[in-house]
Amino acid sequence: MPAYITSIGIAVPENCIDQSTIAEFMIRASQLDSSEARKLRVLYRSTKIQKRYSVLNDYGKTEDFEFYANTPDLEPFPTVSQRMLAYRKHALPLALKAVDSALEIRRSKSANAHSSTDFTHLITVSCTGLYAPGLDIELVEALQLSRQVQRTSINFMGCYGAFNGLKVADHIVQADPTAKVLLVCIELCTLHFQKKPDENYLLSNALFADGASAVLIEGQPQGLSLSMQSFHCDLLFEGRNDMAWHVGDFGFEMVLSSYIPRLVKGGLGELMTQLQQNTSLPTFDFYAIHPGGRAILEAAETQLGLTSGDNRYAYDILREYGNMSSCTVLFVLQRLLQERTQEDIGKHIFSCAFGPGLTLETGIFRVV
């Protein structure tokens, strides 16, 4: 008996900032010379991102900063403690916004929709902030869930974290088809801006943004839903130094090398070969690839034999939101599910995401 994704809600902060405006902020903050500034502008244009969202409005300003210091070099730079205080301030409201969106979509499908109190399980996913008592407990209180709701927190797994949340929910519902699971992914990546003139930081600063997603998982489909068919993962140890996420003195530091697309391309090819040998793969009608960046999407297309049209949902989310770490692939799945009709029932979706390790996570879903 499979588990079903019956609703996906998404949310972003109020501060919507053009990619070109963010580039100018980074140029000033990093105090780049004219040659370096020109290269950075080219990098930002090459991402194909038009805008990003942040819980901080400083990235759209040239003065009167609220989070960063009002000095030319932003010194003293915010500490981990200051960034975690900001995470705690902004995470819950954004997560609740995503949950409200998911509940509203679910209510539109059925009169037997969830109230905000009847979830049996709560799963939270984040790699951009930690505190205890944590977001899970705050959600229980804010949503007035049962104090006996079973909670699981998945932390610091990076962009593929949503798949781990979906897998946990799948096991829960398969064990108890009456279970009602709420999965919440919340990432405030922009709290961790690093101004060192290092290629890793310049690239990550050009890609990451803030967002949240909420998923309802149940034992029966409700309206057009996604049946979770199977999950598969692999580890490419040779890429452990090419994508990493460390806690530094002044925020979390992302290692993101230009070698990643090549690793993803090879790893996906090997993983698909293994799947074809060990399982009976369906024909895939749609694709939901994590938009980690333009080069990663192009590498996945080459390996999977896709066109940019096949991959359009990922490009749309990358263009409109940037990379929001774990919740991004759920934005892609939400957009894809939103456009499905009765004619799509029975069709299959292949989805994947990548993260530190180097980890490859894949999921196969069916429209029901």
| Residues forming a β-bridge with 124 | 153, 184
Pick the range with the lowest mean pLDDT from 86-90, 171-175, 248-252: 248-252
Q: What phi, psi does 138 have (nearest 5°)?
A: -65, -35
Give 111's pLDDT tier (boundaries 50, 70, 90).
low
Q: Could you tell me which of 242, 182, 241, 171 has the C-alpha nearest to residue 212? A: 182
- Span 336-357, average pLDDT: 94
Asked whether the beta carbons of 236 and 263 are under 8 A apart, the reply is yes
Whether pLDDT at 259 is above 90: no
pLDDT of residue 115: 65
Rounded to the nearest angstrom, the gap between the alpha carbon of residue 131 and the centroid of all alpha carbons in its chain is 20
Whether pLDDT at 341 is above 70: yes
- Span 228-252, average pLDDT: 84
- Span 57-80, average pLDDT: 94
- Cβ neighbors of 10 (< 8 A, separation 6 or more) are 98, 101, 211, 212, 213, 214, 327, 330, 331, 334
Q: Are strands 226-235 and 359-367 parallel, antiparallel or unpaired?
A: antiparallel
Asked whether the beta carbons of 180 and 102 are under 8 A apart, the reply is no
- Span 151-158, average pLDDT: 95
Q: Could you tell me which of 224, 261, 248, 260 has the C-alpha nearest to residue 367? A: 224
Q: What is the mean pLDDT of the chain?
A: 92
Give 23's pLDDT tier (boundaries 50, 70, 90).
very high
Asked whether the beta carbons of 181 and 238 are under 8 A apart, the reply is no
Rounded to the nearest angstrom, the gap between the alpha carbon of residue 149 and the centroid of all alpha carbons in its chain is 25
pLDDT of residue 184: 98
Helix (H, G, I), strand (E, B) or coil at 151: strand
Whether pLDDT at 114 is above 70: no
- Span 308-332, average pLDDT: 97
